[in-house]
Amino acid sequence: MLVRVENVSKQYMVGEQPVTALNRINLNIEEGVFMAIAGPSGSGKSTLLNLIGCIDTPSSGKIHIAGRDVSGRTPDDLARLRGRSIGFIFQTFNLLPVLSAEENVEYPLLQFKELSVADRRDRVRHYLKMVGLADFGRHRPNQLSGGQRQRVAIARALAIRPKIILADEPTANLDHRTGARILRLMRRINRKTGATFVFSTHDKRVIDMADRRVDLEDGEIVRLGVRKAKHEWGFALERAEDDYDDDEETVDAADE
Ligand SMILES: Nc1ncnc2c1ncn2[C@@H]1O[C@H](COP(=O)(O)OP(=O)(O)OP(=O)(O)O)[C@@H](O)[C@H]1O
Ligand SMILES: [Mg+2]
């Protein structure tokens, strides 16, 4: 198993108030899957990706990545692990504006001292070509379209040859057609190279491109699905309606 999330909870303190972002999450991610994390705003998608991506640590529970327990590590340890094992793709692309596409892809490789300059350049060319931007290496982000910027970000994530690629709403800042093309590109790369992708979204059309889905609600997994056909999902876990806690719908008259 590539990732094992065991009974993970995450609380944030907002002033004196604890806010539960994730509550007792259990999840296995197999190598090579193309997985969507779905759920409404505030359901915990980004929190879960950040925990798997070692950007943050759980309040309780354990996370194993490729057999290594990453839950109890120091920030330095996590940064090292992240730099070598995890590729990130962000909603806002997060490219460095003063660097060219090539330099953006090359940037995370600079920490790999074992790579020669020539190897590094080869890798940059290889991954820019994979995302269809062989001719755009010299362009800076502001000279590229949104879809092209996201493709640079995908090349940058792949270039470190990570164990897993995490994408937090990668299509949210793209029009639907461009977003669908980006998702298809990610899926093609997944099929061709076996790279594992986990991405969050609340767009149903994007969810239907995944082959695994995890549905979050209020910090809990309410459904786990495996895709059977184009718009058909088989659910391994489906929480019964009765289990939903609708107490929160009650509006206190004093609040109005
Ligand atoms: N740094 C933080 N401090 C306090 N509360 C936080 C923090 N980050 C997230 N939360 C809270 O945790 C819950 C889950 O947030 P999260 O960002 O994971 O949701 P999300 O599913 O990614 O939402 P969206 O679709 O809007 O991006 C929310 O209630 C949010 O307010
Ligand atoms: Mg989010």
What is the spatial distance between Cα 256 and Cα 252, in angstroms, rounded to a whole number? 7
Structure tokens belonging to residue 105 = 């892809």
Please tell me the number of the ligand nearest to residue 18's CA. Answer: 1
* Per-residue pLDDT at 256: 38
Pseudo-torsion of CA 237, 242, 245, 248, nearest 10°?
Answer: 130
Q: Which atom of ligand 1 is nearest to the CA of 13?
A: 4
**CA–centroid distance, residue 19 to ligand 1 (Å):** 9
Pocket of ligand 1 (CB under 6 A): 12, 14, 19, 21, 39, 41-47, 202
Tokens 């609708």 belong to 246
Helices (H), 64-138: 75-85, 101-106, 117-130
Q: What is the pLDDT of residues 98-126, one digit of tens each?
A: 999 999 999 999 999 999 999 999 999 99
Structure tokens belonging to residue 112 = 């790999």
**CA–centroid distance, residue 253 to ligand 2 (Å):** 31
Nearest CA to ligand 1 atom 27: 41
Please tell me the number of the ligand nearest to residue 201's CA. Answer: 1
Q: What is the pLDDT of residues 180-216, one digit of tens each?
A: 999 999 999 999 999 999 999 988 888 999 999 999 9
**CA–centroid distance, residue 167 to ligand 2 (Å):** 10
Nearest CA to ligand 1 atom 31: 42
CATH class held by domain 3-93+162-240: alpha beta
Please say if the pLDDT value at position 245 is more than 70. no
Please say if the pLDDT value at position 254 is more than 50. no
Please tell me the number of the ligand nearest to residue 42's CA. Answer: 1
What's the residue count for the chain?
256
Dihedrals phi, psi of 216, to nearest 5 degrees: -105, 145
Please say if the pLDDT value at position 242 is more than 70. no
- Number of other residues whose CB lies within 10 A of the CB of residue 14: 8
Q: What is the pLDDT of residues 47-67, one digit of tens each?
A: 999 999 999 999 999 999 999
Going by pLDDT thresholds of 50, 70 and 90, the confidence category of residue 129 is very high
**CA–centroid distance, residue 23 to ligand 2 (Å):** 16
* Sign of the Cα pseudo-torsion (141, 123, 131, 154, in order): negative
What is the spatial distance between Cα 218 and Cα 48, in angstroms, rounded to a whole number? 12
Structure tokens belonging to residue 167 = 């994408």
Comparing CA positions, the residue from 47, 254, 66 lying closest to residue 168 is: 47
Comparing CA positions, the residue from 111, 198, 113, 102 lying closest to residue 151 is: 102
Nearest CA to ligand 1 atom 7: 12
Residue boundaries of the structural domains of the chain: 3-93+162-240
Nearest CA to ligand 1 atom 26: 41
